[in-house]
Amino acid sequence: MSSKKPPGAKGSGKTTGSNVNIEFEAPKGAKTPGAGSKAGAPVKSKAVVPKGKQSMVPMGNKSIAMKQEGGMLIPEGYSVRKIEPAKNYDVMSFARAMNPDFAPRLKKLFDPETEAAVEAQKTGIYIGWRCPEFKHDCQRVNKISKCFCGHLLGEHAKYTGKSIRVPCVQGGCKCKGFAWIPSRPEDVGEFWHQRRRDFDPSKWRAKCRCKHTHEEHDPAGMRRCKISGCSCGHFDSNFLCAACDQHWERHETFFETEDIRVENGLPVGEMYLPFAEMPDLRNIALTGREDDDSQYLALTQGEGSIPRTQGPVGNNAPVNFGAGSSKSGFKPVYD
């Protein structure tokens, strides 16, 4: 069991086994009766409910009303969430146990990459962001992905699967080649931003160690900071890739055809879908439900379907992203 105190409440909540122990501390100078207590000294009581009245707990000159929930007395205004043990010892079971909204959160997180994967099957142009030596993409890129210059890929010049540099065509932009940049805090593993009441996702920008955003740096050359008085000579990311724990500047954006990827040992076809090796997670990324494989079947069967290359191997099977090489540096990160 765990307890969460409302904003502004004094005291702290502690969890011990199956019981919830709530520790209250009287304000400085308040007198609380107790054996051996001295006048004016703060007194702590570790009892769930002090002896005497079971409906009220003294808090300095005030009292906190108590309510009964799940066979326990807890302060009014507190919330209690029961943590169910994981049914199996695997990542997915633990994620479900800790997050009741696991499936919708996962789908929302991977929606841009799922769209990019499906688009790649239709056009034959694979756009990935990764470290050059990797045999997997850290990020699948689509037309609405953001460039370092602040414009979307769709606002850049036309490209093919063999493009090296795709310059921006927006008026006044000096960007010489599309370079994917995170546009959401969750892209770099900073999930706590979503829990802030006043957080506006549209205003979030990836930042340099100089504390200025990528849009406040030159989009070409050394990417110097444009803010007056800042001595930053190049963009040095203050964040890490959520997939490999490497800095942004170690990555590159690649435009490739299926043949190029096959030659380089990179996934294509249905294996380019998020979680292609793990059917349950793949289904969640596509439909939001682990038992719904309708969209996957529609993508892999019938006219114009994604070519079937290698079948899924199961949710708990190890995945070789390095295609036999130990130099990929892949390091999965779970929230």
Highest mean pLDDT: which range of 19-23, 104-108, 212-216, 292-296: 212-216
Among 69-73, 80-84, 167-171, 309-313, which is the least confidently predicted range?
A: 309-313
pLDDT bracket for residue 90 (50, 70, 90): low
The whole-number pLDDT of residue 305 equals: 62
Regarding predicted confidence, which is higher, 195 or 294? 294
Residue 268, pLDDT above cutoff 70: yes
Angle between helices 102-123 and 279-287 (to 10 degrees): 80
In this predicted structure, the answer to whether residue 5 has a pLDDT above a threshold of 70 is: no
Q: How confident is the model at residue 55 (pLDDT cuts 50, 70, 90)?
A: low
Q: How far apart are CA 156 and CA 186, in angstroms?
A: 25
Element at 108 (helix H, strand E) = helix 102-123
* Amino acid occupying residue 79: S
Rounded CA gap, 132 and 268, in Å? 17
Q: Is residue 184 predicted with pLDDT exceeding 60?
A: yes
Cα separation, 48 vs 265, whole angstroms: 60
pLDDT in tens, 112-143: 999 999 999 889 999 999 999 999 999 999 99
pLDDT at 161 over 60: yes
Question: Who has greater pLDDT, 85 or 157?
Answer: 157
Please state, in angstroms and rounded to a whole number, the distance separating the CA atoms of residues 255 and 125: 7
What sign results for the dihedral spanned by CA atoms 119, 121, 124, 130? Answer: positive
pLDDT for res 101 = 83
Q: What is the 3-state secondary structure (H, E, C) of the chain?
A: CEEECCCCCCCEEEEECCEEEEEEECCCCCCCCCCCCCCCCCCEECCCCCCCCCCEEEECCEEEEEEEECCEEEECCCEEECCCCCCCCCHHHHHHHHCCCHHHHHHHHHHHHHHHHHHHHHHCEEEEEECCCCCCCCEECCCCCEECCCCEHHHECCCCCCCCCCCECCCCCCCCCCCECCCCHHHHCCHHHHHCCCCCHHHCCCEECCCCEHHHECCCCCCCECCCCCCCCCCCECCECCCCCCEHHHCEEEEEEHHHHHHCCCCCHHHHCCCCCCHHHHHHHHHCCCCCCHHHHHHHCCCCCCCCCCCCCCCCCCCCCCCCCCCCCCCCCCC
pLDDT score recorded for residue 45: 52
List the chain domain ranges: 2-81, 91-300
Higher pLDDT, 9 or 167: 167
Predicted local distance difference test score (pLDDT) of residue 195: 78
15-19, 59-63, 248-252, 320-324: which is most confident:
248-252
Residue 109 confidence (pLDDT) above 80: yes
Mean pLDDT over 275-295 rounds to 91
Q: How high does pLDDT run on average in the chain?
A: 78
Question: Does residue 227 register a pLDDT over 90?
Answer: yes
Residue 44 reports pLDDT greater than 80 = no
Q: Which of 26-35, 191-200, 231-240, 307-316 has the highest mean pLDDT?
A: 231-240
The yes-or-no verdict on residue 157 having pLDDT over 70 is yes
Dihedral over Cα of 246, 247, 249, 252: its sign: positive
Kindly tell me if the per-residue pLDDT of 301 is higher than 70.
Answer: yes
Question: What is the DSSP annotation of 166-178?
Answer: --B-STT----S-
- Partners of 217 in the beta sheet? 225
CA 38 vs CA 35, 50, 271: distances in Å: 9, 19, 70
Residue 332's pLDDT band, with cuts at 50, 70 and 90, is: very low
